[in-house]
Structure 1
Amino acid sequence: MRERDGGGMGRSGRRDGAASPVREVRRPTLRLPELKAYTGIELETEGDYDGLEFADADLTGQPGRGARFMDCALRRCALDETVLSRARFIDSVLDGVRGVGTDLSQVSLRDVEVLDARLGGVQMHAAVLERVVVRGGKIDFLNLRKAKLKDVAFEGCVLVEADFAGAELERVSFDDCTLSRVDFSAVRMRDVDLRGVARLDIARGIDRLAGAVISSAQLMDLAPAFAAEIGVRVE
C-alpha cells in the first residue's frame, strides 16, 4: 500500500494548500500617432476627438458629456468642474491634468495612462477602467463607488479618502502609494496586490479584503482594526 504524501503536488503543479500567486496587472501599451493640436473653443457634448493634443487647455466647466477621445493626449489641462460623464478615453494619455469637482461619472478608460494628476473631489462612480496606469500625483476625495477596475496599476500616487465602496477590483496593484482613509465598504476584490502600499490606512471595509494580498508588516499594522472588526479586545 502506497504511503500518502501529505506534501503532494496538486494538478496545477504547486503543493496542495499553497496559495495561488497574484496575477499580474496587464498594462497598456500606448503608441500615440503624430498628434494635431486641438484648436476648438469648447468641448462638445457627444463630441468625437481623434488624434488630438490638448496642451495647456482651460476646459473649466465645459460640457464634454459622452465625448469620445481616441489616441489623444491631454497635457496640463485645467478640468475644474468639467463635465465628462459617460465620456470614453481609448489609447490616450492624461498628463499633468488638474482640477476640482471634475465629473467623470460612468466614464470609460481603456488603455490609458494618467500621469502626475492633481485632482480633488473627482466623481468617477460607476466608471469602467481597463488596462490603466495611474502614476504619480495626488487625488483627494476620489469617488469610485460601484466602479469596475480591471488591470489597473496605481504607482507612486497619493489617494486621500478614496471611496471604492461597492466597486469591483480585479488585477489591481498599488505600488509605492499612500492610501489615506480609504473606503473599501462592500468592495469585491480579486488578485488585488496591496503589498507595495507605503501607507495603508483603511477607514471602512477592513472586512472586505478577501481577494487581496498584504504583507506581514501590513498585517501587524492592521491587526487592531481586524480585532475591532470581530469584537476582540486587546489589552
Structure 2
Amino acid sequence: MARRAAGETVRAARRPEVRLPALERHGGGGLEPDGDYDGLDMREADFAGQDGAGARFMDCALTGCALDETSLRRARLLDSVLTGVRGVGTDLAEATLRDVELVDARLGGTQMHGAVLERVLIRGGKIDFLNLRRARLKDVVFEGCVLVEPDFAGARLERVEFAGCALRGADFSASVLVDVDLRGAAPLEIARGVDRLAGAVISPAQLLGLAPVLAAELGVRVVA
C-alpha cells in the first residue's frame, strides 16, 4: 500500500507473515555444514564457534541461542523466528533471509555482506557494527531497535523502513536507495554516503539535523 509524504509516493515495506507449524524440540546436537533443519524449536542452544555454513533453516524458532563466532555463511533462513539471540562475530555473509523475524537480538560485528534479505522484520534489541556491504534488502523493516554504525556501503535497499529506531553513524557509501523511509529514525546519524540519499524520504526536522553534513558534502561553508 502506497503512502504519501512531502509530495512523494513511498511504497511501504511488506512485512513477513510467519506462521510456524507445531515444532519439534531440537535434540541438542550441534550445527553442521549444509545441515537441514526443518520445523525445529531451538531453545537456549549454545552454537558458539560452530560451523553451519550453507545450512537451511525452514519453519524454525531459535530462542535465546548463543551465536558467538558462529559460521552461517551462505545459510538460508526461511519462514523462521529468531528471538533473543546473542553473539559477537556471527558470520552470515552471503546468507539468504526470507520471511524472517529477528526480535530483541543483541549482536555485535555481525557479518552480512553480500546477503539477501527479503520480507524481514528486525524488531527491538541492539546490533553494533552490522556489515551489510553489497547486500540486497527488499521489504525490510527495522523497528524499535538500535543500530550502531551499520554499514550499507554498496548495498541496494528497496522498500526499507526505519520505524522508531536509532540509526547512529550509518554508512550509505555507493548504496542505492529505492523507497527507503528514514522518517522514523531518531536519531538519524549518517557518517558517510549522504549523497546517496536519493530515493529516501526524511522529515523536515531530519533535514535540519543533516544540514551540516549536506553542506560539508557540497563544499559549502556556513559562516555566521
Aligned to 1:157: 145
Aligned to 2:72: 84
Residues 1:212 and 2:196 are matched in the alignment: no
List alignment gaps of at least 5 residues for structure 2. 1-5
Aligned to 2:219: 231
Hey, what's the Cα distance between the residues in 2 that align with 1:220 and 1:19? Answer: 18
Q: Deviations over 1:90-131 (max 9, x none)?
A: 000010000000000001000000000000000000000000
Q: What percentage of residue pairs aligned between the two structures are identical?
A: 69
The 5 A counterparts of 1:73-222 are 73-222=61-210
Higher strand share: 2
Q: Deviations over 1:177-227 (max 9, x none)?
A: 111111000010000000011101101001000000000000000011101
Q: TM-score scaled by structure 1?
A: 0.92
Hey, what's the Cα distance between the residues in 2 that align with 1:42 and 1:195? Answer: 42
Q: CA deviation at 1:40?
A: 3.8
SS state of the match for residue 94, structure 1?
strand
Hey, what's the Cα distance between the residues in 2 that align with 1:229 and 1:65? Answer: 40
> Which protein is bigger by CA-based radius of gyration?
1
Hey, what's the Cα distance between the residues in 2 that align with 1:21 and 1:41? Answer: 49
Q: CA deviation at 1:21?
A: 1.2
List alignment gaps of at least 5 residues for structure 1. 1-17
Residues 1:31 and 2:7 are matched in the alignment: no
Hey, what's the Cα distance between the residues in 2 that align with 1:38 and 1:49? Answer: 9
**Amino acid of the residue matched to residue 226 of structure 1?**
L
Aligned to 2:34: 46
Hey, what's the Cα distance between the residues in 1 that align with 2:146 and 2:28? Answer: 33
Q: TM-score scaled by structure 2?
A: 0.96
Q: CA deviation at 1:65?
A: 0.3
Aligned to 1:14: none
Cα RMSD of the aligned pairs, angstroms, is 0.8
Aligned to 1:6: none
Hey, what's the Cα distance between the residues in 1 that align with 2:84 and 2:95? Answer: 19
Moved more, 121-130 or 20-29: 20-29
